[in-house]
Amino acid sequence: MIAAAPYGVRIAVRLTPRARADRLIGVARLGDGAPILKVTVTAPPAEGRANAALLQLLAKEWNVPRRDLAILGGQKSRNKVVGITGDPALLLKRLGAALATLPQS
């Protein structure tokens, strides 16, 4: 789900647009057993609004500048790869601790 990259880290996300609230739901498993972060946003998927809401939510929840986040893959898919720029070791430690507090399913 979260892995180091040359520029920082990348994280796998399953996004549900048009939800009741913007929130991190928890960590789920895909059919192949790979972990993925489940996130909901109230924004519709049209014109990239759900993607923008996702990045805004992650920046707020993880206290990282919005400019350091980008969607690397899955622009038009529910399954996305989000990249976070910064020191990989520091980000892995900080985000790993935050993800460990979320419900696992």
pLDDT in tens, 48-92: 999 999 999 999 999 999 999 999 999 999 999 999 999 999 999
If pLDDT is split at 50, 70 and 90, which confidence band does 6 have?
Answer: very high
- At 71 the pLDDT is 97
Note whether 55 and 66 are within 8 A (CB).
Answer: yes
pTM for the full model? 0.94
CA distance 7 to 43: 28
Read off φ and ψ for residue 17, nearest 5 degrees.
Answer: -80, 170
Average pLDDT, whole number, for the chain? 95
- At 105 the pLDDT is 82
Give the 3-state secondary structure of residue 45.
coil
